[in-house]
């Protein structure tokens, strides 16, 4: 597929899990992808190598979100590498995927330090990264924020995390109205239960997988590729009339009883 040929993309948290699947899919569709990562050099190299082995183009960029100067460090590195590869620092697609999601245990167990870290990485970073990178985006630009089904489904121990993802959805809706005159779209994708390297310990247990699957309209655990497909659509030309939306990409998680009996 070549629907994103000549496009450039940045995927934050792109070396593992859903982020890696998104980076691989955008590259498979023809984009040159900057794979951001925080600390795992091996995972980043593996992600880039996999993209290149499949015939795509990618490079890795490191920045530790939540630390001083991380946004400018990332933006500068991406601009320099894009210019080297294409002769321009133009960025067409930004996917804000990087986030921390440690269980906070609910309001009784939350601490100011943990709360501040959640918002620093999950809200403040994408906000100011968008601010910094908008100068490199032109008409047809795409911003996709990765939210979470926990903004719809109240799960124990996810209060602080859910608040950050709700803030991200609000950011997307309001920002879409602001940048729409420039021809840039902004959307949010909310994954549900998804099997990644970090959740495999749970979803590889037959009882847990069966319990979660039973709560789905489509009775299986989601895959990173399921989310990547939605992001790839939003990044392409066919989604040019879709903006300010939050897309529930959960397979129908927890919609209610399937029968009346």
Range with the poorest average pLDDT among 70-74, 88-92, 110-114, 135-139: 110-114
Which residue from 96, 114, 113, 117 is spatially nearest to 104, judged by alpha carbons?
A: 114
Task: Give the tens place of pLDDT for each residue, 211-244.
Answer: 999 999 999 999 999 999 999 999 999 999 999 9
Give 134's DSSP letter.
Answer: G
Euclidean distance between CA atoms 57 and 28, whole angstroms: 9
Select which of 37, 59, 65, 161 is catalytic.
161
Q: How many other β-carbons are positioned within 10 Å of the β-carbon of residue 178?
A: 11
Query: What's the pLDDT score for residue 97?
Result: 98
Task: Give the tens place of pLDDT for each residue, 40-83.
Answer: 999 999 999 999 999 999 999 999 999 999 999 999 999 999 99
Instruction: List 26's β-bridge partners, or say none.
Output: none
Tokens of 161: 């995390």
Cβ-Cβ contacts under 8 Å for 75 (sequence gap 6 or more): 129, 132, 133
The yes-or-no answer on residue 161 being catalytic is: yes
Task: Give the tens place of pLDDT for each residue, 3-20.
Answer: 999 999 999 999 999 999
Query: Looking at the whole model, is its pTM more than 0.85?
Result: yes
Whether residue 172 is predicted with pLDDT greater than 60 in this model: the reply is: yes
CATH of 8-194+224-249, one of 1.10.760.10, 3.40.50.720, 3.20.20.70, 3.40.605.10: 3.40.50.720
Euclidean distance between CA atoms 125 and 70, whole angstroms: 9
- Taken in order 151, 192, 104, 37, the sign of the CA dihedral is negative
Q: How many other β-carbons are positioned within 10 Å of the β-carbon of residue 260?
A: 4
Task: Give the tens place of pLDDT for each residue, 122-170.
Answer: 999 999 999 999 999 999 999 999 999 999 999 888 899 999 999 999 9
């Amino acid at each position: 597929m070549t629907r994103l040929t000549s496009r450039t993309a940045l995927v934050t948290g792109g070396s593992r899990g859903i982020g890696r699947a998104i980076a691989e899919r955008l590259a498979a569709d023809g984009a040159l992808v900057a794979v951001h990562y925080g600390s795992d050099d091996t995972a980043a190299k593996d992600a880039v190598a996999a993209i290149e082995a499949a015939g795509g183009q990618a490079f890795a960029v490191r920045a530790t979100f939540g630390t001083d100067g991380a946004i400018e460090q990332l933006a500068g590195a991406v601009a320099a590498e894009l210019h080297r590869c294409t002769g321009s620092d133009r960025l067409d697609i930004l996917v804000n995927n990087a986030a921390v999601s440690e269980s906070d245990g609910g309001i009784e167990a939350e601490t100011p330090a943990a709360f501040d870290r959640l918002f620093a990485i999950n809200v403040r970073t994408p906000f100011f990264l968008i601010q910094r990178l908008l100068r490199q985006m032109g008409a047809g630009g795409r911003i996709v924020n990765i939210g979470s089904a926990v903004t719809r489904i109240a799960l124990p121990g996810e209060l602080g995390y859910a608040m950050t993802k709700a803030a991200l959805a609000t950011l997307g809706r309001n920002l879409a109205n602001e940048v729409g005159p420039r021809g840039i779209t902004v959307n949010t994708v909310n994954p549900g239960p998804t099997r990644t390297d970090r959740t495999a310990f749970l979803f590889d247990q037959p009882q847990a997988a069966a319990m979660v699957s039973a709560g789905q309209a489509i009775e299986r655990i989601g895959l990173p590729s399921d989310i990547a497909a939605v992001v790839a659509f939003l990044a392409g030309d066919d989604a040019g009339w879709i903006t300010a939306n939050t897309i529930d990409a959960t397979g129908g998680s927890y919609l209610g009883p399937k029968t009346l009996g």
